[in-house]
């Protein structure tokens, strides 16, 4: 990363603008912001979107949570109107965006934030979009001081901060670094219309653009230098027994994105995890025959869903019939019944042939990962960028949650009720 000190921060009317507050996820994030930070007392924040009428309805509904919500300012703009995005970016210290698919709606907003030296965080899991933002804006964001932090939701905060935490434990307790970290994910949760639209848009763009396919295939495609090579190869595709986890594993649908974010963090931290660092992610299942059967069933279902999604007419049929439409998603009861747990095994291999040292990590959330827990992750990322001053990196660029906010964000998420724990492997 650049070593020059960043330009001074301009003062702004708002600490945070919650951009996309009318969407399924945006409403949940806005409610969480209100419950945690009130309507302007400890944090100056505003609701942003493209429809005044819809935003007023969101604000009116939020009054049932806290009557002070009526005081929340409303900011208007449109992702296709650059001038409106420039005005939005100039009004805030941080823009937190849930307006996706990001490859469709996110490009001009990132450009506006970079130009205005405004910090930005979002929920994208679209690797080709992040690659394009790195190419277009990383150097200029370093110059303006704008911190552009993608992937501040379930994709990829548990993976990125979990790895940072396990590496920290290994360093503190053993004076070593993990040459390898494996992450095993388990979860119960649903999908919203915007998430489905983002995944299908990525499949569609990949089907017609070789450049997108290359980004999705290259394990190091989000590294600063996209020609970077390292020891990791392709993401897990089939069912495997993993001796480190002591359980059956299968492919995890978000692993390709999360793993590239973790590798970018390593590069942005000047290879603090090592140039030979290996990272992988899989779904973790049980240890017995039941675990094997579930792993096989889930793997088959994922492969089937991807096969269907790559056929354009079937994809459109799915979108129109079975899948949630934009604005729809899991009910409050379904969200409350959800959870996620990401378990990490970090391995250091001391020189001189001594036995490997292993440490364990867990990141857990007690509601639906994509919505209840993501609302915590995005809102705390935004507030961390706005208020945490020297406790986080002040350097601009197209960053990752761990490289920019590091353990300060872990502290915030612990305070928000998420679990971040490490221990020695027995
Ligand atoms: N990383 C994660 O864990 C995670 C979790 C949840 C969601 N997500 C991502 O978040 C994104 C949103 O998902 P969602 O289900 O909440 O979507 P959604 O309900 O469809 O909401 C989309 C939002 O974008 C707004 N929008 C659409 N076109 C716009 C335009 N031209 N200008 C300004 N705003 C515009 C919509 O405004 P209107 O209401 O006016 O239409 C709405 O506020 C998706 O990309 C999804 O993948 C990620």
Pocket flag, ligand 1, residue 80 (CB < 6 Å): yes
Residue 5 Cα, ligand 1 centroid: separation in angstroms? 35
Distance CA 48, CA 64 (A): 19
Sequence spans of domains, the chain = 14-153+372-412, 157-369+416-424
- Are the beta carbons of 76 and 52 closer than 8 angstroms? yes
> What pLDDT does 309 receive?
78
Which pLDDT band holds residue 5 (cuts at 50, 70, 90)?
low
pLDDT digits (tens, 9 = 90+) for 57-67: 999 999 999 99
What is the distance between the alpha carbons of residues 120 and 113, in angstroms, rounded to a whole number? 7
According to the model, what pLDDT value does residue 4 have? 52
> What is the edge-to-edge ordering of all strands in the sheet holding 339-348?
240-242, 247-250, 278-284, 180-188, 339-348, 357-365, 419-424
| Measured CA angle at 313 (ends 294, 213), to 5 deg | 70
| Digit-coded pLDDT (tens) for 112-152 | 999 999 999 999 999 999 999 999 999 999 999 999 999 99
Helix (H, G, I), strand (E, B) or coil at 244: coil
Cβ atoms 179, 163 nearer than 8 A = no
Atom 46 of ligand 1, nearest CA residue: 195
Q: Is 201 in the pocket of ligand 1 (CB under 6 A)?
A: no
Question: Hey, which residues does 364 pair with through a beta bridge?
Answer: 341, 419
pLDDT in tens, 386-397: 999 999 999 999
Residues 221-267: tens digit of each pLDDT = 999 988 878 999 989 999 999 999 899 999 999 999 999 999 999 99
Ligand 1: residue whose CA is nearest its atom 24: 99
6 in ligand 1 pocket by Cβ < 6 Å? Answer: no
**Which superfamily does 14-153+372-412 belong to?**
NAD(P)-binding Rossmann-like Domain (3.40.50.720)
Q: Tell me: the pLDDT tens digits for 365-385?
A: 999 999 999 999 999 999 999
């Amino acid at each position: 990363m650049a070593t020059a000190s960043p330009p001074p921060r301009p003062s702004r009317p708002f600490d945070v603008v919650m951009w996309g507050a009318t969407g399924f996820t945006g409403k949940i994030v806005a409610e969480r912001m209100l419950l945690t930070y009130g309507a302007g007392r400890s944090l100056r924040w505003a609701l942003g979107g493209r429809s005044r009428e819809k935003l007023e309805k969101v604000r009116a509904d939020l009054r049932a949570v806290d009557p002070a919500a009526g005081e929340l300012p409303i900011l208007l703009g449109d992702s296709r109107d650059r001038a409106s995005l420039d005005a939005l970016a100039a009004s805030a210290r941080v823009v937190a965006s849930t307006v996706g698919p990001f490859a469709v709606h996110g490009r001009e907003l990132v450009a506006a934030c970079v130009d205005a030296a405004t910090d930005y965080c979002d929920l994208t899991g679209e690797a080709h979009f992040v690659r394009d933002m790195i190419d277009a804006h990383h150097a200029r964001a370093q110059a303006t001081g704008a911190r552009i932090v993608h992937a501040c939701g379930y994709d990829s905060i548990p993976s990125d901060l979990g790895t940072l935490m396990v590496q920290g434990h290994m360093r503190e307790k053993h004076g070593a670094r993990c040459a390898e970290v494996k992450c095993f994910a388990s979860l119960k949760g649903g999908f919203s219309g915007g998430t489905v639209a983002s995944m299908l848009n990525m499949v569609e763009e990949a089907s017609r653009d070789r450049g997108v396919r290359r980004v999705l295939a290259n394990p190091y495609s989000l590294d600063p230098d996209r020609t970077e090579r390292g020891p990791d190869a392709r993401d897990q595709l089939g069912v495997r027994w993993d001796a480190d986890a002591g359980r059956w594993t299968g492919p995890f649908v978000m692993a390709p994105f999360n793993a590239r974010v973790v590798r970018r963090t390593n590069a942005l931290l000047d290879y603090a995890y090592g140039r030979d660092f290996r990272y992988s992610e899989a779904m973790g299942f049980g240890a017995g025959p039941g675990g094997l059967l579930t792993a096989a069933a889930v793997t088959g279902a994922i492969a089937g869903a991807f096969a269907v999604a790559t056929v354009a007419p079937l994809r459109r049929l799915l979108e129109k019939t079975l899948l949630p439409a934009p604005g729809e998603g899991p009910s409050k009861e379904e969200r409350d019944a959800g959870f996620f747990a990401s378990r990490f095994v970090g391995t250091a291999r001391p020189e001189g042939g001594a036995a490997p040292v292993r440490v364990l990590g867990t990141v857990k959330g007690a509601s639906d990962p994509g919505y209840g827990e993501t609302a915590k992750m995005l809102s705390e990322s935004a507030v961390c960028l706005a208020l945490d001053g020297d406790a986080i990196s002040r350097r601009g660029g197209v960053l990752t949650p761990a490289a920019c906010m590091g353990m300060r964000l872990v502290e915030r998420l612990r305070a928000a009720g998420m679990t971040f724990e490490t221990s020695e492997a027995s």
